[in-house]
Amino acid sequence: MNNIINNLKNVRSKIPLSDKKLSIVIGISCIIIIMLIVFYVLSKKKYKKINPTFITKQKNAKKKYKISSKLVYNPSNGYTYTWNIWMYINNWSYKLNSMKHILTRGRLEKTPIHCNPSIWLGDKTNDLHFYIETDKKGTQEFILKDVPIKKWTMITIVLQMNEFEVYINGNLVETYILKSLPKLNNGNVYINEWGGYDGFITNLKYFPKTLSPLFIQKLYKKKPGYNKNVFKSLFGPITNNKQTCVTS
C-alpha cells in the first residue's frame, strides 16, 4: 500500500506546473458551468410557477375547468396582472340570447359582481364583456365590440392600478379607466361555466404583473404552444369540426 501511495506521489510530482494550473482552471470552470446550469433550471422552474400556463392543450369551451387560488400568485401591490388566452368561436347561435362564460376569478356568479376579472361573450352579438370589482365604485363593465369568429384569436387583458387594457392578437385595441382602484381578489379561477361557448380555448397564461406591449407581441408571434392538436387547429381544420381557421 505504501509503495502505491509513493508511486502516485512520484507521478504527481512529475506533472509540469503549467499542466497542474490548467487542470485547476478546467476544474473550476466545470464547477461554475454546473452551478450556472442548476441556477438556470431552478430559475426557469420558479418563473413557470409564478407565471403559469394553465391550459396547454386545445380545450372544448363547453366544458368547465377550475384553477385553485393556490396556483395563482398575487402581485405584490394587488393591482397589477395580465391574463392571456387563445380563443376560437365556432358557432354564435349556440346559447343565443344568453351570456357565454369564458373566465372568472372570484365568486362564481351569473351576474358578475365579486370578481376581478370576469370575461364573457355577449348574449346576442359577438362582443366581449369584462367585469372588474372596484374598491369604492362597485363592479364596472367594459364592452369590446366585434370579436373575430371562426378564427383563432389571442385575447390579452392587462390591469395596472386603475387602467385596464385589452389587446387583440398582440395589438392594443382599448384602454379603460376604472373609477377607483380594483378590489383585491384571492379567489379561484373558473373557466367556461354554465356551458361556456361553442368553440375552443388554449394557452391560458397568467402573470402577476403588467406585460409590456413588446412582450405581448412576442406572445402572439409564438402562437399557442406546440401541441400537435393545437398546431394543426391553427393552420388547418379543427378536430371534430370542418371549419378552417387561420390567425390574422
Average pLDDT, the chain: 81
* Spatial distance between the Cα atoms of 12 and 67, rounded to a whole number of angstroms: 61
Provide, rounded to the nearest whole percent, the portion of the chain with pLDDT above 90: 59
Residues belonging to the chain: 248
pLDDT at 10 over 70: no
For 27-35, what is the mean pLDDT?
Answer: 74
The rounded distance, in Å, linking the Cα atoms of 23 and 39 is: 24
Tell me the C-alpha distance between 83 and 158, whole Å.
7
Per-residue pLDDT of 44-62, as tens digits, reads: 555 555 666 898 899 999 9
Residue from 204, 171, 197, 200 nearest 67 by CA: 204
Which pLDDT value is given to residue 243? 30
Tell me how far apart the alpha carbons of residues 182 and 203 are, in angstroms, rounded to a whole number. Answer: 25
97-106 burial code (b ≥16 CB/10 A, e <16): ebbbbbbbbb
Paired strand residues for 69: none
Residue 228 has pLDDT above 50, yes or no: no
| pTM (global) more than 0.85 | no
pLDDT digits (tens, 9 = 90+) for 100-145: 999 999 999 999 999 999 999 999 999 999 999 998 889 999 999 9
Q: From residue 114, give the alpha-carbon distance in Å to each of 58, 139, 147.
A: 29, 8, 25
Residue 197 confidence class, pLDDT cut points 50, 70, 90: very high
pLDDT of 69 higher than 50 = yes
Instruction: Assess whether pLDDT exceeds 90 at residue 164.
Output: yes
The answer, yes or no, to whether residue 209 has pLDDT greater than 70, is yes
CA 128 to chain centre: 19
Mean pLDDT over 137-164 rounds to: 94
Instruction: Give the per-residue pLDDT at 238.
Output: 42
Report the C-alpha gap between 112 and 114 in whole angstroms: 6
SS3 labels along the chain: CHHHHHHHHHHHHHCCHHHHHHHHHHHHHHHHHHHHHHHHHHHHHHHHHHCCEEECCCEECCCCEEECHHHCCCCCCCCEEEEEEEEEECCCCCCCCCCEEEEEEECCCCCCCCEEEEEEECCCCCCEEEEEEECCCCEEEEEECCCCCCCEEEEEEEEECCEEEEEECCEEEEEEECCCCECCCCCCEEECCCCCCCEEEEEEEEECCCCCHHHHHHHHHHCCCCCHHHHHHHHCECCCCCCECCCC
pLDDT of residue 214: 95
Residue with grid cell 397589477, as numbered in its chain: 80
Given a cut of 90, is residue 35 above it in pLDDT? no
State yes or no: pLDDT of 212 exceeds 90: yes
